[in-house]
Structure 1
Amino acid sequence: MPKIYISIGSNQDAERQVRFGVKQLNYYFSDLNVSQVYESEAVGFDGDNFLNLVASAKTQLSISQVDQAFKEIEKAAGRVRGEAKYSNRTLDIDLLLYDDLVCDKPIKLPRGEVLHHAFVLLPLAEIAPTLEHPVEKKSYQELWDAFDNKSEQSLWAIKFDWESAL
């Protein structure tokens, strides 16, 4: 059964939205495991701070079906499609990895944000430190250790109550 890695983020009613997103992911996928929740400043626009985390799960769904499930969860959370790339988000759920598959269609994998955003790479390195990026051929911990934008993308782990989410 394929293992997937998922980024989850929100900056609008973020605690509730993150709990909702994780609860929904737990419904669609098995063996869900989540990183710590990190708070970070908005990147690319002026906005409220984001809460971000990465989850892993197992699925029998295809990449397209996984992507569709994410869109349904986002829609149920009030997400409106067509917003600017860098803008406020009720809930943003993205597929980062689908096993070690490298592809451009139906979506680009591995997702490019993995290598460019601390709020994706750090929680991914937390839950999969020894897993290798399928293109870079380095572990996510090695990639985090070498990440050069740490000072530009400050983020910090927060205490988060998962009790109502799972």
Structure 2
Amino acid sequence: MVPAYVGLGANLGDALATLRAAVAALQSLPGVAAARASAVYRTAPFDAAGPDFLNAVVRLECRHTAHELFEQLRAIEHAHGRQRPYRHAPRTLDLDLLLWGDAQISTADLIVPHPRMHQRAFVLVPLAELAPCVKIPGQGELAPLLATAAGQPIERTGERLY
């Protein structure tokens, strides 16, 4: 079993309901034995316009490969109407494979750790809730990364995903 962390975000439609449905879909994936979710956070779009995002992070225990999980994440996004008209476009659902154990993966379609996660409070804050001592391969410990993202506004909503 490999621990995997997935970032969730949505800012179109009923974002909270979509995130809850995405977590349910993640929990029901073949090869996933356990799932835990952070609280839900509200953030302004990063380098883009549009409504605020709801974000969270989920920790999974997986039996399959990172690429298999990545393909399953894409399928869940697609099932929730995800479109990619341009970079940083508003979205019904965004699922990012943040971490795959302590692996570093770089292929044409998948980069793990997610290449910008260490710069984004909307990833680091919910990740710290689930795994405060996690080390991000190639970036180091979480605490100093959180400090560098401290100026980015993020609000805990009080909502849970299950």
Counterparts of 1:17 and 1:84 in 2: how far apart (Å)? Answer: 21
C-alpha root-mean-square deviation of aligned residues, in Å? 1.4
Does the aligned pair in 1 maintain the 2:38–2:160 contact within 8 Å?
no
1:23 matched residue in structure 2 = 24
Counterparts of 2:9 and 2:16 in 1: how far apart (Å)? Answer: 10
**TM-fit CA distance, 1:44:** 1.5
What is the aligned length? 158
Runs ≥4 residues deviating over 3 A:
none
1:10 matched residue in structure 2 = 10
Counterparts of 2:89 and 2:133 in 1: how far apart (Å)? Answer: 32
Does the aligned pair in 1 maintain the 2:39–2:160 contact within 8 Å?
no
State TM-score, norm by structure 1.
0.89
Give CA deviations for 1:19-39 in whole Å, capped at 9, x if unaligned.
Answer: 111110111122101111100
Does the aligned pair in 2 maintain the 1:113–1:120 contact within 8 Å?
no
Correspondence 1:3-152 to 2 at 5 A = 3-12=3-12, 13-28=14-29, 29-80=32-83, 82-105=84-107, 106-138=109-141, 140-144=142-146, 146-147=147-148, 149-151=149-151
Consecutive unaligned residues in structure 2, runs of 5 or more: none
Give CA deviations for 1:54-103 in whole Å, capped at 9, x if unaligned.
Answer: 110111111111011001100111112x3212111100001001000012
**TM-fit CA distance, 1:53:** 0.5
**TM-fit CA distance, 1:161:** 4.7
Counterparts of 1:137 and 1:113 in 2: how far apart (Å)? Answer: 14
> Against the structure 1 CA distance between its residues 36 and 19, is the aligned structure 2 distance closer, same or farther, given a 3 Å change threshold?
same
**TM-fit CA distance, 1:150:** 2.8
Consecutive unaligned residues in structure 1, runs of 5 or more: none
**TM-fit CA distance, 1:2:** 0.7
**TM-fit CA distance, 1:137:** 2.8
Counterparts of 2:143 and 2:39 in 1: how far apart (Å)? Answer: 15
Counterparts of 1:38 and 1:103 in 2: how far apart (Å)? Answer: 28
